[in-house]
Structure 1
Amino acid sequence: MCAVMGRFRKVRMRMWLLKFAIRKMRMCNKGIMHPYNAFYTPNGTYNISLFHTYDYARHFVSACTRILGLEGTHEGVEDQGKLTRVAAFPIGIDYERFIRALELPQVQNHMKELRQRFAGRKVMLGVDRLDMIKGIPQKILAFEKFLEENPHWRDRVVLLQIAVPTRTDVPEYQKLTSQVHEIVGRINGKFGTLTAVPIHHLDRSLDFHALCALYAITDVALVTSLRDGMNLVSYEFVSCQASNKGVLILSEFAGAAQSLGAGAILVNPWNVTEVAASISYALDMPDDEREKRHQHNFKHVTTHTSQEWAATFVSELNDTIVEAQLRTRQVPPLLPTEVAIDRYMKSSNRLLILGFNSTLTEPVDALGRNGQLKEMELKLHPDIKAPLKKLCDDPKTTIVVLSGSGRIVLDDNFGEYNMWLAAEHGMFLRHTKGEWMTTMPENLCMDWVDSVKHVFEYFTERTPRSHFELRETSLVWNYKYADVEFGRLQARDMLQHLWTGPISNASVDVVRGGRSVEVRAVGVTKGAAIDRILGEIVHHKGMNSPIDCVLCIGHFLAKDEDVYTFFEPELPCESPPPARAMVANHIKTSVPNTLASQSGPRASRLKKQRSLSTLEKKETNPGSAIALQPALQDRMPLHEGASVLDLKGDNYFSCAVGRKRSNARYLLGSADTVVSLLKELGH
């Protein structure tokens, strides 16, 4: 652990490790830790939060979603583009230390003395801190129940309970101590004799050697935690049972139950009758079953050691460092308009990628009279039509509107322009003079749609002025027109319903916008589709020269900002890219068919594979994971767009519209600023 924390200090990461149990957090409960304290540091959010069990990790994500209103994902918790990874890392022990200890003379002497002391009796053992969550009273009451129902065992079994005192100055713990002593005294008085008692209770800790001896001669170990972390007592017991093959009775509420459950007898410590029956079963268990159970647990303990845990821990920290750098979204500067216009004018083949919502649309945030909604449909900015038409008619310029909206919406707004339309994050593509094609993978699974739709319908009915849109590759619930605070509260509850219900095992991404929640199939992002879009544009247009200037402008969700970094990795080194461009070099392998400049071995290889003059369509299976309209039955053939780019660092401008933090190089304030820029480019 010291080595791990030394590594932690070296990399200066913000990390939070939970050693003990974290219950389902409620803001109003006194004494329960608020998730804010576990998620935020004075300098921001943690990079990683680690838990010993999956249940605690899940409860933490649930609390962050419901109480803090953050976005929970299968990786962790997101806040303003920053991801705090949440993971379960069950700790192990140094089992070899216990095995070596059993060979020591002092331990052998202890074992000999204990066997003589309890000769003719089965030994049951409990080792716990004297704490409310350890379930010591429940354990002793279950043992009493067992003795009542099995009289023949009363003089043949003994329970050794080691209760290590803790927080002895706290009244609640003093009361617990008195309660345990009272129960033990009553049971010993009821079932004991002048020469023997059924329970030996010690209010003190034992030294390591004495504890190893106790573990070794024990026939049944009893762990009845009401709520616990890992509880490594069970691991220590298994390590010392190579010759005895003792049985482990383990509370289902202990973290170790998720690791040793298959070889142990799992019990609910609140059910005294069940625990008593399990004690009887363990004492009468056949030797072959004891052997199988022990071998299963011993294999796990010797495989998942503390050394292995530390190595995995450090590896996870290293991975998180890289991922944190990749995900870091900084505050870019404002777009240097004059520079962008100058580069644009000097280029011979330009590509403009434009978003739609909040990029080319007029503002529709306000409510009309009497609280009536204004027109919900997205409408183009009134001043954009003239400059947009002029740019579309320029033979040196190719314009692509890349949007999450559906095909009908884009058709209605851009049907009159000479441009390309990429609907639903690029999953559907067409030129305004052609038919729609699909870029969707053929194995795209959409089985989750109906169950998610039911959840969206439920929250739409209960959130005034909210609505949801059923698209062909996603569903979007929008509360833009609802009361802000109530909408956020409902969104939190919706995320909780989604992650614990219909999409718990589905291959989907949940993307939370400013006032929306979108569920889409995994891999449906603008950046994932852009290469095939470029390839189809080149094939259709028959370009004779590569694209040498790209402007990518949009109000994209964080999930879709991969479209900005898509153009970064292969920029030549003559012009140093910004810091985020260097980070993007780490993710080349995650972006299919990344870009190529016309210099270097990679570009030469791409040119040999596919040149501008030899692009050919490939026949593909027309099958699809979802039903498409007749015009889409022919799936779009694969055309690689990487080899058509000749970008230099100063000829690429990515601009986030109306964002504070972004992976884009630059910022633009609003749709009005975009309109002004397009007007100047059109001149």
Structure 2
Amino acid sequence: MSISSQEICILRKDKNLALLQTNGMPGNKYNCSPGTPRTRLERLLRERELRKFNKSLNEGETESSTNDPSSPDAETSTWFNDEESLETVSAGRVSLDGSKQRLLVVANRLPVSAVRRGEDSWQLEMSVGGLVTALLGVKEFETRWIGWAGVNVPDEIGQKALTKALAEKRCIPVFLDEEIVHQYYNGYCNNILWPLFHYLGLPQEDRLATTRSFQSQLDAYKKANQMFADVVNEHYEEGDVVWCHDYHLMFLPKCLKERNNKMKVGWFLHTPFPSSEIHRTLPSRSELLRSVLAADLVGFHTYDYARHFVSACTRILGLEGTPEGVEDQGKLTRVAAFPIGIDSDRFIRALELPQVQDHMKELKERFAGRKVMLGVDRLDMIKGIPQKILAFEKFLEENPNWRDKVVLLQIAVPTRTDVPEYQKLTSQVHEIVGRINGRFGTLTAVPIHHLDRSLDFPALCALYAVTDVALVTSSRDGMNLVSYEFVACQASKKGVLILSEFAGAAQSLGAGAILVNPWNITEVASSIGYALNMPADEREKRHHHNFMHVTTHTSQEWAATFVSELNDTIVEAQLRLRQIPPILPIEVAVDRYSKSNNRLLILGLNATLTEPVDTLGRKANQIKELELKLHPDLQEPLKKLCDDPKTTIVVLSGSDRSVLDDNFGDYNLWLAAENGMFLRVTGGEWMTTMPENLNMDWVDSVKVHTLVRLSLV
């Protein structure tokens, strides 16, 4: 049976052949013959389509079918040549004995809440969050969680009992004492890194206190990261993938690699990564960057965050940024964007539940005749709740005809209630809400309904479903999945999403949402009016775009793609190392040298014939680069080599001709300056290696344009 160019693979199920068509699918110009997709993106897109197709084929079947050799995952091996196939098997998801590859997920908190009921008794309850949902949906791996349980357990009996109880949930605890938690979590993580990564400056009166305690908090941060590493090392088995999460564990990749350089380590940041100009203000800026770079793969929600990270490594560490990531002395750390999603099916299915339907009916009756606007946020500095409410006030002020036709429901979940700044924010929001309700409300209705608590899942889904306009006005947000949840629940209503351009979700849902600058209250108020009056056909188009994205870019897809990329990154690193010429054996080199009659030695200058100059980090060292001197210990050996009639010496350097003249004018050798642009034998004149008739008029033009651009900057 022949296979056309529009068919990429044959999948077997129940002894029937099913062809997976690729019309309209990226990369469909490749057929099923052995060969490798020419780009990483093409291969990842193919794997995504195959996973979806396999899921639909195996609906209702047992999980064991994933190891069937006729499954799409097995079929993907035909896309690699023999050499790559062997490497992929060794780094892939299924071992030779058919068992799944283990995935060790390391996060600050375990996905469980633990309550002590007795000396050796614990009650556990699983949390439901984006990361938990994402990894529960990934069936290709055997997942283990490593993290802090959120409770202080000082006694050995309690620790053993909790460890045993967590093992049933596939969780492994890291036990942190109260002092470490205070300094590491409340101190360095929440008071230093979190504000910095969200572009929030510390209050002026706190800066001196923060500076004084900074070193002790950093020490606790390092100690906590090492404690996480110790637990990982204790449970690690060869071939495991270790996935580190968030700003709490930026030192962890380095700790792990120092113990086992062959360990597969990925690190993902769930917050924004700030501009290099912001990150460089952090006293431990270089240490953190180098520790993260120890990972094989570094992931962010958006391309902007990834670009900021690469820029920080380039500007602060002096390393080379490439389209693939960051390179340091031949070692490449891949840096890429992996936008997280949600379990959209969970929200869509929930809308059919009787409990949710009852909530929807109640809400529709309660707000009959009025458009419903919704905000769901943590009561946090970065969520822009005051700006949102003030923009709504401005809208009511400018549109009196809407005052009794629209209502804003604001859910503000309290967080960090013991911190003065958060207490102040709570009071500020309450004051604004009270003033607006007093100004525009009546005895029977108010324009703003504000709740200082969370809602259960059915109530939240019902609220999303009856909403006409969702308002997300974060001043900074890593992603903001409230926008995704709203879209998932809007199949019937097709409401409008107003989304802050400073939320990571703006790069995914921006085409279907109305993007706003939350600091521009006038713009947000105008967008509210536009959303409320938007024609049905435009609402349909906008919703369709976002709904397609939310339902295809799920949390499960995000997790599977990241881990697949990490495995592939390891393989590519191995292949890259094979291409590097091996180190020349000294004994062989000396033997060949002594037996030869015509020898050519090409020597570099900096760090070869001079003392190594570290130009990274400290600007003072840049002055040394201008003062390159031949190492005193090498002067006599070099003179002997130059005087040997059987040996020709060439010194090749990127430095200026004058540097080579000053150092080697008295030696009998060849000099190549400015990376070979100029060449001479000592005692002769400099000559250029460029063609004689080459037109160089363009150089002056470039210089002029460069000077103009620099003056404009």
Bin of the TM-score, shorter chain as denominator length: 0.5 to 0.7
Which residue is equivalent to 1:278? 527
- What is the rounded CA distance, in whole Å, between the counterparts of 1:60 and 1:231 in structure 2? 20
The answer to whether 1:161 aligns with 2:410 is yes
**1:540-619 alignment runs, 5 A limit:** none
Size of the alignment, in residue pairs? 440
Distance 1:319 1:430, change over 3 A: farther
Is the Cα contact below 8 Å between 1:18 and 1:51 reproduced in 2?
A: yes
In the alignment, which of 121, 126, 140 is matched to residue 389 of structure 2?
140
Query: Matched residue of 1:73: which SS?
Result: strand
- Alpha-carbon offset, residue 351 of structure 1: 5.9
Which residue is equivalent to 1:92? 341
- What is the rounded CA distance, in whole Å, between the counterparts of 1:375 and 1:111 in structure 2? 73
- Alpha-carbon offset, residue 161 of structure 1: 1.0
- Alpha-carbon offset, residue 17 of structure 1: 2.2
Which residue is equivalent to 1:179? 428
In the alignment, which of 319, 322, 325 is matched to residue 71 of structure 1?
319
**1:44-59 alignment runs, 5 A limit:** 45-59=294-308
User: In terms of mean alpha carbon deviation, does 80-89 or 224-233 score higher?
Assistant: 80-89
The answer to whether 1:196 aligns with 2:429 is no
User: What letter matches 2:338 in structure 1?
Assistant: F
Which residue is equivalent to 1:234? 483
Query: Matched residue of 2:530: which SS?
Result: helix
- What is the rounded CA distance, in whole Å, between the counterparts of 1:210 and 1:447 in structure 2? 68
Which residue is equivalent to 1:19? 270
Which residue is equivalent to 2:241? 8
Query: Matched residue of 2:336: which SS?
Result: strand
User: In terms of mean alpha carbon deviation, does 104-113 or 422-431 score higher?
Assistant: 422-431
Structure 1: 5+ residue runs without aligned partners?
366-371, 439-444, 459-500, 503-683
Distance 1:204 1:421, change over 3 A: same
- Alpha-carbon offset, residue 254 of structure 1: 0.8
**1:332-343 alignment runs, 5 A limit:** 339-343=588-592
- Alpha-carbon offset, residue 279 of structure 1: 0.3
- Alpha-carbon offset, residue 360 of structure 1: 6.0
**1:306-455 alignment runs, 5 A limit:** 306-322=555-571, 339-346=588-595, 352-356=601-605, 359=608, 394=646, 402-404=652-654, 425=675, 436=689, 450=703, 454=707
- Alpha-carbon offset, residue 341 of structure 1: 2.2
Measured against aligned partners, the alpha-carbon deviations of 1:95-126 in whole angstroms (never above 9, x if no partner) come to 22222222223222322222222221111111
**1:450-529 alignment runs, 5 A limit:** 450=703, 454=707
- Alpha-carbon offset, residue 278 of structure 1: 0.7
Highest CA radius of gyration, 1 or 2? 1
- Alpha-carbon offset, residue 295 of structure 1: 2.0
Is the Cα contact below 8 Å between 2:299 and 2:336 reproduced in 1?
A: yes
Is the Cα contact below 8 Å between 1:223 and 1:249 reproduced in 2?
A: yes
Distance 1:334 1:280, change over 3 A: closer
Which residue is equivalent to 1:38? 288
- What is the rounded CA distance, in whole Å, between the counterparts of 2:703 and 2:320 in structure 1? 21
- Alpha-carbon offset, residue 243 of structure 1: 2.2
Give identity over the alignment, percent. 71
- Alpha-carbon offset, residue 327 of structure 1: 7.9
- What is the rounded CA distance, in whole Å, between the counterparts of 1:163 and 1:374 in structure 2? 56
TM-score normalised by structure 1 residue count: 0.54
The answer to whether 1:245 aligns with 2:463 is no
Is the Cα contact below 8 Å between 1:82 and 1:328 reproduced in 2?
A: no
- What is the rounded CA distance, in whole Å, between the counterparts of 1:316 and 1:246 in structure 2? 35
- What is the rounded CA distance, in whole Å, between the counterparts of 2:484 and 2:701 in structure 1? 40
The answer to whether 1:209 aligns with 2:442 is no
User: What letter matches 2:288 in structure 1?
Assistant: A
- What is the rounded CA distance, in whole Å, between the counterparts of 1:373 and 1:248 in structure 2? 56
- What is the rounded CA distance, in whole Å, between the counterparts of 2:459 and 2:612 in structure 1? 75
- Alpha-carbon offset, residue 287 of structure 1: 1.6
Distance 1:161 1:398, change over 3 A: same
- Alpha-carbon offset, residue 429 of structure 1: 9.3
- Alpha-carbon offset, residue 277 of structure 1: 0.8
- Alpha-carbon offset, residue 233 of structure 1: 0.7
Distance 1:96 1:28, change over 3 A: closer
Is the Cα contact below 8 Å between 2:242 and 2:265 reproduced in 1?
A: no
- Alpha-carbon offset, residue 76 of structure 1: 4.3
Distance 1:164 1:355, change over 3 A: same
Is the Cα contact below 8 Å between 1:162 and 1:205 reproduced in 2?
A: yes
Measured against aligned partners, the alpha-carbon deviations of 1:348-392 in whole angstroms (never above 9, x if no partner) come to 886644335565689999xxxxxx99997988986578755666x
- What is the rounded CA distance, in whole Å, between the counterparts of 1:14 and 1:362 in structure 2? 34
Distance 1:262 1:448, change over 3 A: farther
Query: Matched residue of 2:455: which SS?
Result: coil
- What is the rounded CA distance, in whole Å, between the counterparts of 2:431 and 2:707 in structure 1? 55
User: In terms of mean alpha carbon deviation, does 122-131 or 332-341 score higher?
Assistant: 332-341
- What is the rounded CA distance, in whole Å, between the counterparts of 1:417 and 1:260 in structure 2? 66
Which residue is equivalent to 1:114? 363
Is the Cα contact below 8 Å between 1:360 and 1:384 reproduced in 2?
A: no
Is the Cα contact below 8 Å between 1:168 and 1:174 reproduced in 2?
A: yes
Is the Cα contact below 8 Å between 2:676 and 2:689 reproduced in 1?
A: no
Query: Matched residue of 1:9: which SS?
Result: strand
Query: Matched residue of 1:294: which SS?
Result: helix
- What is the rounded CA distance, in whole Å, between the counterparts of 1:177 and 1:374 in structure 2? 55
- What is the rounded CA distance, in whole Å, between the counterparts of 2:589 and 2:272 in structure 1? 55
**1:252-267 alignment runs, 5 A limit:** 252-267=501-516
TM-score normalised by structure 2 residue count: 0.52
Which residue is equivalent to 2:119? none
Is the Cα contact below 8 Å between 1:76 and 1:85 reproduced in 2?
A: yes
Which residue is equivalent to 1:289? 538
Distance 1:222 1:457, change over 3 A: closer
User: In terms of mean alpha carbon deviation, does 355-364 or 16-25 score higher?
Assistant: 355-364
Query: Matched residue of 1:97: which SS?
Result: helix
- Alpha-carbon offset, residue 307 of structure 1: 2.5
- Alpha-carbon offset, residue 38 of structure 1: 3.4
- What is the rounded CA distance, in whole Å, between the counterparts of 1:364 and 1:108 in structure 2? 70
Distance 1:386 1:222, change over 3 A: closer
Measured against aligned partners, the alpha-carbon deviations of 1:561-608 in whole angstroms (never above 9, x if no partner) come to xxxxxxxxxxxxxxxxxxxxxxxxxxxxxxxxxxxxxxxxxxxxxxxx
- Alpha-carbon offset, residue 436 of structure 1: 4.0
